[in-house]
Amino acid sequence: MWLIKSVLVAVLAQSETSPDALVRRLGSDDFSARESAEAALSKLGLAALAAIEAGGADADPEVRRRCRDLSLALRKQNQIDMLTRFVAGSDNLPGWERFRKVLGQRPDARKAYAEIYGSDPTFIDDVESRPQYAPTIIVAKVQLLQTLQNAERTKRGGFPFSTNDVAIVMFAAQHPQARIPTDKLHFITSMLYNQNIQNSLSGRNGVAVNENLRAIVVSWMLSQTDINAQMQSLYICMNNDLKDGITLARSLLKNGNLPPHGRGVCCSLLGRLGNKDNIPDLVPLLSDTTHMNNFQVRPKTMGVVQVRDVALAMLVHITGQSHKDYSFGFTTVGQPFQVNSTYNMGFLEDAKRQEALAKWDAYAKANGLPPAKR
């Protein structure tokens, strides 16, 4: 009899401290009982989470409030503990193996990923666990950020995307099954034109370059096969002085799939961000007679820009020569030559173009550089 009584007492005590019982006590008329029950549930931690979340739908408003607060606190603490273990190297996170390949062997790679992942764990978890839906998930994330941005702009004149906002999207968009449809690409690339992000990429306006963000963005650019994404990548490199764009431009020129304007932009990027080592990349384009655009220097005075004109203009720029000496159209009417725009890199007459190409041949021969092949 004594043994049976002891067992019943033990069972009763255990049932009174079970998660379900503690949740019920959150609605007690006794304030101290409610407080002690909440403390006990918090101490139990994740073991009590199921009972706590069920309590979030309880009929008693006090139980609901306390359960919802407990659930948020427990999940937040669990996330902090998980990220701490990850940074210490004792645990991994979804997507880490892919991220490690993007950042390489940087010593701060784990810390960087913990910060990015921690900004929206559910987003990364969804992309990694349901990659077949990744494009939809990613576009929805960007649309949400843009909605927040537009709402905040109405209030205070601007909502800058954070570097984590962009980093997590650009990283997710590199998932092998996350090829963003062409008609949705602008959602991704538009984030990179936010002033806050451009400053972080370029180091302008007193903002330190965010090397991790830069590595993620460049990795995304190099992973793209869609021509529209590739062209946007070239412009982003030019706008932010990303020398990594040199690798992209050389690769795209070698593949030979770019339209004329794209080839011209590649030449411009190589000239602006490259150096004399890139002369061999530009010289083959001196035979590219494809039309790019017309330009006007005076009323009724029009010129033509061909791909080879841009290549020549950037060769002249790299070697420190004068564009005026080569009779580029704008310089012949007393206007300055703009190396930032391919629009003005042409000639008013084809005869002047031929003279300029011959001049380069002479300069190249005198300086041991490859001549134009025409």
Are 236 and 109 found together in one domain? yes
Residue listed under structure tokens 């790299």: 318
Q: Please report the pLDDT score of residue 156 as a whole number.
A: 52
Would residue 18 count as lying in a domain? yes
- Shared domain check, 201 and 104: yes
Write down the pLDDT at residue 199: 92
pLDDT at 284: 94
Q: How many CB atoms lie within 10 A of CB 39?
A: 11
Q: Is residue 81 one of the residues assigned to a domain?
A: yes
Q: Which of 292, 245, 233, 251 is nearest to 272 (CA)?
A: 245
Indicate the number of domains in the chain.
Answer: 3
In a domain? residue 2: no
* pTM for the full predicted model: 0.76
By CB atoms closer than 10 A (0-12, 13-18, 19+), residue 296 is exposed
Residues 112 and 191 in one domain: yes
Q: Residue 3 has what pLDDT?
A: 42
Choose one of 54, 87, 120: the last residue of a domain.
87
Can you give the pLDDT at residue 152? Answer: 58
Are residues 372 and 350 part of one domain?
A: yes
pLDDT at 335: 83
Give the end of a domain, one of 221, 242, 263.
Answer: 242
Task: Please indicate, yes or no, whether residues 221 and 284 belong to a single structural domain of this protein.
Answer: no
CATH code at position 70: 1.25.10
Beta strand pairing call for 301-306 and 291-298: antiparallel
Q: Which domain holds residue 97?
A: 92-242
The reply to whether 227 and 125 lie within a common domain is yes
SS (H, E, C) the chain: CHHHHHHHHHHHHHHHCCHHHHHHHCCCCCHHHHHHHHHHHHHHHHHHHHHHHHHCCCCCHHHHHHHHHHHHHHHHHHHHHHHHHHHCCCCCCCCHHHHHHHHCCCCCHHHHHHHHHHHCHHHHHHHHHCHHHHHHHHHHHHHHHHHHHHHHHHHHCCCCCCHHHHHHHHHHCCCCCCCCCHHHHHHHHHHHHCHHHHHHHHCCCCCCCCHHHHHHHHHHHHHCCCHHHHHHHHHHHHHCCCCCHHHHHHHHHHHCCCCHHHHHHHHHHHHHHCCHHHHHHHHHHHHCCCEEEEEEEECCEEEEEEHHHHHHHHHHHHCCCCCCCCCCHHHHCCCCCCCCCHHHCCECCHHHHHHHHHHHHHHHHHCCCCCCCC
326 and 225 together in one domain = no
Please list the rounded mean pLDDT of every run of 10 residues in the chain (374 residues): 40 62 92 92 88 91 92 86 90 92 87 94 94 94 84 55 92 92 89 90 91 93 88 89 90 86 94 94 95 89 94 96 94 84 92 96 93 70
Out of 60, 87, 114, a domain closes at: 87
Q: Percent helix, strand and coil across the chain, each rounded to 5? A: 70, 5, 25
Q: Are 107 and 50 in a shared domain?
A: no
Query: Could you tell me if residue 208 is inside a domain?
Result: yes
344, part of any domain: yes
Could you say which DSSP state residue 22 is in?
A: H
pLDDT for the residue numbered 374: 62
Domain assignment present for residue 255? The answer is no
Residue 4 inside a domain? The answer is no
Report the pLDDT value the prediction gives residue 158, as an integer from 0 to 100.
53
Q: Of 92, 102, 251, which Cα lies nearest the Cα of 170?
A: 102
Confirm if 119 and 168 have CB atoms less than 8 A apart.
yes
Does a structural domain hold residue 283?
A: yes
Q: If DSSP codes are grouped into helix, strand and coil, which group holds residue 298?
A: strand
For the chain, what is the radius of gyration of the CA atoms?
31
pLDDT for position 285 = 95
Is the domain of 205 the same as that of 299? Answer: no
If asked whether residues 70 and 191 sit together in one domain, one would say: no
Q: 100 and 66 in one domain?
A: no
Q: Are residues 296 and 280 in the same domain?
A: yes
Q: Characterise 5 by phi-psi region: left (phi > 0), alpha (psi -120 to 50), beta (else).
A: alpha
